[in-house]
Amino acid sequence: MSNVEKRSEATQLKLEKKFGQSPVFVASAVLQNGGVPRNASPACLLREAIQVISCGYEDKTEWGKEVENITKFFNF
């Protein structure tokens, strides 16, 4: 495995830790202006959206913890 591949894999793992294992969500997080990957179908986007909005998904990611903290702050 080359150094570039190792860095790419490390970056992917870091993004998954932050945003979870939804490949569509991770890909959209790295796009310069947001949005969704061009090759994502509407059905795929719907499946990923349902997964990402579930409470179980939030509990397993740094992003989910940040969202939870913000929500708690505004719902005091």
pLDDT digits (tens, 9 = 90+) for 50-75: 877 776 666 777 877 888 888 888 87
Provide the whole-model pTM.
Answer: 0.51
What's the CA gap between 42 and 15, in Å, rounded?
A: 23
Question: What domain range is 28 assigned to?
Answer: 3-74
pLDDT at 16 (0 to 100): 80
Could you read off the pLDDT of 5-21 as tens digits, one per residue?
777 777 778 888 877 77
Residue type for 51, please?
Q
CA 11 to chain centre: 13
The first and second tokens of residue 36, run together, are 């969704």
Spatial CB neighbours of 16, under 8 Å, sequence gap ≥ 6: 26
For CA atoms 33, 59, 22, 54, give the dihedral sign. negative
Residue type for 74, please?
F
Domains held by the chain: number: 1
